[in-house]
């Protein structure tokens, strides 16, 4: 059985203190890998002793962190044979709601379709189809402040690139991987973002959240509200346009839209349009253009509800007006949920 020498314990403890200089953590938990040949019982006993003695030594040396097995910020694995330590850092999760004010950028990083992110002539070597995204803009100051390695964006659904996200914004969580700093002042970061990208985006309600919040957020499927500009390709009669305001809890049958069939399998889904309001700017008996405000069940395809998508969405605005219509502009005006209040 390998011997647990004071010298070895001290060296591991000092290595852990060095890691504490590099990574900010208030809590940690140790694990040990011990070399064979030892029996299973011996190994368990050895690990227990190593963990306890190294933990005690780090505290003697004045580590500004507490050992705990309950949700530690970092886990440190010691290899007793090689003297190496390996650190696993909990990601830092930053919650917020974003507004997307531009019809030219997507929500998240969009790899170039031709080179799939490697960089080619078509994308100017960037590997991206769009030069930036809400995710990249919001992540930049957080990456700088936390010195994390990378980010991933989770959100309550997403809008099309050419749609704006208005109102109180869409809830999201940015997951920062391997952050070195965890105590960041999010207020100034939010202000800086909102000043620097005032024409493109805004962020609100930023705060640090835990894993349970992430698990909750990705499962939410709240109603959404939209404002759509509808163009009639043939002038429509005024009266049926006005009657669209009577729509209440109408169930749509939607086959996967033609525009996304290249990346999603065809399937039929049923979604409910809960309510609808109409604003007609044209005077007179015929209408060429009007606005619809809709509240719908999560996952409803709005552009297809308007056009009918060649019969793949039933019923549709085109069908109800008996003239072909299309969605000229689309804004999401609300995502009807506050994850911070959900239980």
Q: Which is nearer to Zn ion, 113 or 204 (CB)?
A: 113
Residues 272-311 binding Zn ion (CB under 5 A) are none
Q: Among 85, 89, 112, 142, which residue sits at the site for Zn ion (rule: CB under 5 A)? A: 112
Shortest distance, position 121 Cβ to Zn ion, whole Å: 8
Q: How far is the CB of 161 from Zn ion (least distance, A)?
A: 17
10, 160, 223, 282: the active-site residue: 160
CB 80 within 8 A of CB 2: yes
* HSE (side-chain half, CA atoms, 13 Å) at 246: 6
d(CA 305, CA 315): 7
User: Does residue 218 contact residue 109 with C-beta atoms inside 8 Å?
Assistant: no
Active site residue 160: yes
DSSP state of 255: E
Between 31 and 117, CB nearer to Zn ion? 117
What lies within 8 Å, CB to CB, of 12 at 6+ separation is 50, 54, 57, 78, 83, 85
* 123 binding Zn ion? (CB under 5 A): yes
Q: Closest CB to Zn ion among 121 and 285? A: 121
What lies within 8 Å, CB to CB, of 218 at 6+ separation is: 154
Nearer to Zn ion, 125 or 187 (CB): 125
Q: Report the residue from 115, 161, 250, 340 that binds Zn ion according to the rule CB under 5 A.
A: 115
Element (H, E) at 33: strand 27-33
The stretch among 55-63, 115-123, 266-274, 299-307 that binds Zn ion (CB under 5 A) is: 115-123
Task: Please tell me whether residue 120 binds Zn ion under the rule CB under 5 A.
Answer: yes
237: β partners: 286
Q: How far is the CB of 158 from Zn ion (least distance, A)?
A: 22
| Kind and range of the H or E run holding 50 | helix 40-60
Minimum CB–partner distance for residue 110 and Zn ion (Å): 11
Q: Cite the active site residues.
A: 160
Return residues touching Zn ion (CB under 5 A): 112, 114-115, 120, 122-123
């Amino acid at each position: 059985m390998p011997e647990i020498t004071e010298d070895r314990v001290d060296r591991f403890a000092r290595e852990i203190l060095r890691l504490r200089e590099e990574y900010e953590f208030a809590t940690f938990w140790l694990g040990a890998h011990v070399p064979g040949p030892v029996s299973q019982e011996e190994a368990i006993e050895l690990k227990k002793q190593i963990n306890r003695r190294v933990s005690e030594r780090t505290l003697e040396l004045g580590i500004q962190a507490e050992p705990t097995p309950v949700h530690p910020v970092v886990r440190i694995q010691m290899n007793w044979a090689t003297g190496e330590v390996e650190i696993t850092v909990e990601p830092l999760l930053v919650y917020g709601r974003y507004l997307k004010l531009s019809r030219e950028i997507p929500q998240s990083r969009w790899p170039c379709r031709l080179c799939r992110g490697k960089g080619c002539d078509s994308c100017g070597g960037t590997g991206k189809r769009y030069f930036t995204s809400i995710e990249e803009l919001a992540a930049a100051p957080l990456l700088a402040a936390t010195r994390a390695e990378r980010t991933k964006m989770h959100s309550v659904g997403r809008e099309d690139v050419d749609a704006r996200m208005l109102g109180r914004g869409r809830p999201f969580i940015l997951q920062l991987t391997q952050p070195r700093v965890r105590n960041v002042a999010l207020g100034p970061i939010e202000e800086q973002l909102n000043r620097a990208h005032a024409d493109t985006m805004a962020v609100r309600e930023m705060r640090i959240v835990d894993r349970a919040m992430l698990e909750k957020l990705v499962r939410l499927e709240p109603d959404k509200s939209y404002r759509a500009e509808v163009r009639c390709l043939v002038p429509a009669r005024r009266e049926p346009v006005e009657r669209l305001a009577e729509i209440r809890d109408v169930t749509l049958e939607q086959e996967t839209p033609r525009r996304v069939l290249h990346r999603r399998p065809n399937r039929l889904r049923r979604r409910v349009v809960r309510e609808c309001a109409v604003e007609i700017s044209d005077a007179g008996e015929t209408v060429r253009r009007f606005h619809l405000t809709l509240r719908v069940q999560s996952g409803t395809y709005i552009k297809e509800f308007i056009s009918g998508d060649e019969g793949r969405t039933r019923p549709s605005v085109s069908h109800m007006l008996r003239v072909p219509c299309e969605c000229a502009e689309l804004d999401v005006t609300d995502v009807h949920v506050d994850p911070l209040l959900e239980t």
